[in-house]
Amino acid sequence: MRRLELVVTPADQGERLDRFVAARGAITRGLARRTLDAGGVFLDGRRCKVAGRTLHPGQKVTVNLEEGGRGAAPPRPLERSRLLYADADLVAVDKPSGVPAQPTLTTDRGTLPELVGALLGAPVTIVHRLDRETSGVTVLARSKRAAAALAEAFRTGAPHKTYLALAARPPAPAEGRIDRPLGKDPSRPGLRRVDPAGDAAATRYRTLRASPLAALVEARPETGRTHQIRVHLAALGAPLLGDPRYGGPRRVGEVAIPRVMLHAARLELAHPVTGAALVFEAPPPDDFRAAVAALVPPPAQG
């Protein structure tokens, strides 16, 4: 990866971000726009995809370019068994935990589009993002028409998403609908909080089973806000295990929690071109199942 570290000077006051990156980075404006779209541009340490964002003196712009040699070791390939569906317009995969959906501030290697593109031998476009630590079903577009249709579908909340979450304690009440707007947390960059002035966000949930140590919860978000399930369940006093940023512990007794315990188990949506109903499912991975078995075992039979 080639990285550019740029500082906005007084002469750059009011300049558009895409033009600034192209001019100061000595790259084409087309490459600047593609890098913005891919999530490779960070403004004062926070990802920014708004090409027309106006700049002010003193701001710092970091640009991660795929061109110019990446240098890092190749990422581990995605196993073909994780391919759930593929046609000319759409691909569905079971994303492993730890795989980012888009470039980070430190690297552009090993993103889900890169791994899926390598598996299929053709580029794909991310349209539905899961957090890096979240595992499970996600879809990517293989054509421009599918990308546009899928982006609109997720924007309007048309797909039905079902997640499994392992919480530190049962939410109260045990079943219901959380309707709490979410906004950026100004005191913690990159995180979200319940904010009456934020974006509308709603999640339906039900407790599948619980123990004194944890609770297995099914969550069905009606909107697609960043960290939505994590923030909503934490707001009910049930933060996800392995999620210390929202109050969830990394250890319960002798059980170490390896990551944020959230898994995208099922996704229902209309095909972006044909309109056919599609349903994709992915079983929880080993780390999730092991934590559930240790902390929320099913009731004894007999």
DSSP E strands, 30-124: 41-43, 46-47, 60-65, 83-86, 90-95
What is the chain's alpha carbon radius of gyration, rounded to the nearest angstrom? 21
Taking the C-alpha atoms of residue 136 and residue 69, their distance in angstroms, rounded to an integer, is 31
Return the closest-CA partner of residue 206 out of 172, 240, 182: 172
Give Cβ neighbours of residue 175 (< 8 Å, ≥ 6 apart).
Answer: 205, 206, 207
Is residue 131 part of the annotated active site? The answer reads yes
Residue type, 257: I
* Percentage helix, strand, coil for the chain under 3-state DSSP, each rounded to 5: 20, 30, 45
Q: Are 82 and 94 a contacting pair, CB within 8 Å?
A: yes
Distance CA 161, CA 268 (A): 7
In three-state secondary structure terms, 135 is: strand
Nearest to 201 by CA among 171, 172, 231: 231
Residue 190 Rama label (left phi>0; alpha psi -120 to 50; beta): left
Dist. CA 50–CA 36, nearest whole Å: 7
Phi, psi of 19 (to 5 degrees): -70, -40
State residue 120 phi and psi, 5-degree precision: -90, -15
For residue 51, the 8-state DSSP code is T
Catalytic residue among 131, 179, 185, 195: 131
* End-to-end Cα spacing for the chain: 59
Catalytic residues: 131
